[in-house]
A = this chain, B = another copy of it.
Amino acid sequence: MVTIKDVAKEAGVSVATVSRVLNENGYVGVDTKKKVLQAIAKLNYSPNEVARSLYKRRSRLIGLLLPDITNPFFPQLARGVEDEVSEAGFRLLLGNSDENVQKELDYIQTFAQNNVVGMISATSHVDYGIYDALNLPLVLLDRISDEYPAVYADGEEGGRLAAETLVEKGAKQITVMKGPSHIKPAQDRYRGAVEALNRSEASYTVMSTTSFSFEDAKGWAEELFAKYPETDAVIASNDMVAIAILHEALQLGKRIPEDLQIIGYDDIPQCSLSYPTLSTVRQPAYEMGRQAARLLMKTINKEQEIEKSIQLPVQLIERNTTRKG
């Protein structure tokens, strides 16, 4: 391993000088600088981040904590975060918590132990105070709390949009699926939908679900038609269960969207690959990731005028599981 010492020796200067050219601070003569640069190039030197991090007590790492990257909504978030932070020279420490407090704590601890400059978390246990002890900038992503800045999409509006659209398109008996109760954004959209529905003429039923997982999606779909066979429109808790419902419906011989309309939530990429293509409420996941990262970096740089939180707009994407016109 080539160190700053080797470079110093090669260039015939002190390590202090090398450090100065590395960090472009302090005075350093033009010739000296050139010599150092040459030595660096010759030895193919690149500074040890760990040593830097130790001295400065801050690394160039950012901790990203997700519930489960395997769930198709999160890769987009992650990618947005990564693209933004990497432009600023930061790298990502990644953790999946499975919404399990212990795992979450473990990751938070190791993030701190590695001197991360900040964290972004899309998990649900913020309110347990597990982030409070750490004195680290934290931005919540797709979550909301009173204590920390957050980036999220307008869930109530999303729910409202879905409900109003279905009513408008002639749905008479709507089933709205209520997502897991510990996921706040899921509750927001539910609330938005129900409010809009209450204001309308349509009648509706509520079906509670306790997970967003792939494996369970099919189960929810079956349950829905067993319990509420009259349903002519469903507001699904997310796209995956929407797709499951869609195909369960086809299986049962229903025509989409004539007999049954469906609106999903998230607009994961595979929506346009479903058949029929899925109408959904789009959350700008990639953009959310980017904004969260940007907000975090502003906090890190102690910029003035930092937004407390950022709410991004949602958008109804009409595809083929809702009626036209």
Partner-B contacts on A (CB < 8 A): 1, 44, 46-51, 53-54, 57, 59-61, 64, 68-70, 72, 74-76, 78-79, 82, 86, 91-96, 107, 109-110, 112-115, 133, 214, 217-218, 240, 243-244, 246-247, 250, 269-270, 272-275, 277
Q: What's the minimum C-beta distance from A44 to chain B, rounded to whole angstroms?
A: 8
Closest 10 CB pairs of A and B: A49-B113, A247-B275, A94-B94, A69-B75, A243-B273, A70-B75, A50-B54, A214-B269, A50-B53, A49-B114
**Which B residues are in CB contact (< 8 Å) with A218?**
272-273
Q: What's the minimum C-beta distance from A171 to chain B, rounded to whole angstroms?
A: 22
Quick one: copies of this chain in the complex? Answer: 2
Given contact pairs A46-B109, A50-B114, A57 touches B1 in the complex (Cβ within 8 A): yes
* 17 sampled A-B residue pairs with Cβ under 8 A: A1-B57, A46-B112, A50-B53, A50-B115, A69-B69, A72-B270, A74-B75, A79-B96, A82-B96, A86-B95, A91-B93, A93-B93, A214-B273, A246-B275, A270-B270, A273-B274, A275-B275
CA of A217 to CA of B274 in the docked complex: distance in angstroms?
13
Q: What's the minimum C-beta distance from A185 to chain B, rounded to whole angstroms?
A: 20
**Which B residues are in CB contact (< 8 Å) with A91?**
93, 95, 107, 110, 114
CA of A269 to CA of B69 in the docked complex: distance in angstroms?
13
CA of A221 to CA of B223 in the docked complex: distance in angstroms?
34
